[in-house]
Amino acid sequence: MSEVAVFSMFIEHPGDITDHPLVLALGDGERMGALGLYGVVGSWAARYAASDGIVPGAVINMHDGRGKHAGALVSCGLWTYDADRATYRFAHWRKPEPASNGYPT
């Protein structure tokens, strides 16, 4: 039997994610995929990114090779993209403190 991995994760998002205008701006056909990418990359960023929430484009491409969902997150304002550095940044980001078990203090 394989072990079950448990990941404590907190990704700060703007307001109530169910009906926040930035989330609703994603559109019905792309919302779940884009929010899935937001969560997976947020987990990576909580572990490896600096306190600024900047993520290398290579990390995004690993999970969203065609950039469809990343582009949607940029378009709606949840992420920004820096073409000169090929990085993405969470627009609303607070890195959890190591002793906080994954929750921002």
What is the radius of gyration, based on Cα positions, of the chain?
14
The predicted-structure confidence for 42-86, as pLDDT tens digits, reads as follows 888 888 877 788 999 999 999 998 889 999 999 999 999 999 999
CA-based nearest residue to 37, from 6, 7, 82, 74? 74
How much is the pLDDT for 13?
Answer: 57
Whether pLDDT at 3 is above 60: no
pTM: 0.77
Predicted confidence band at 88 (pLDDT cuts at 50, 70, 90)? very high
Q: What angle, 0 to 180 degrees and rounded to 10, lies between the N-to-C axes of helices 68-76 and 31-48?
A: 90
Closest to 69 in 3D by CA, of 42, 39, 30: 30
Alpha helices (H) in 1-105, listed in sequence order = 21-24, 31-48, 57-63, 68-76
Query: Tokens at residue 54, please?
Result: 């900047």
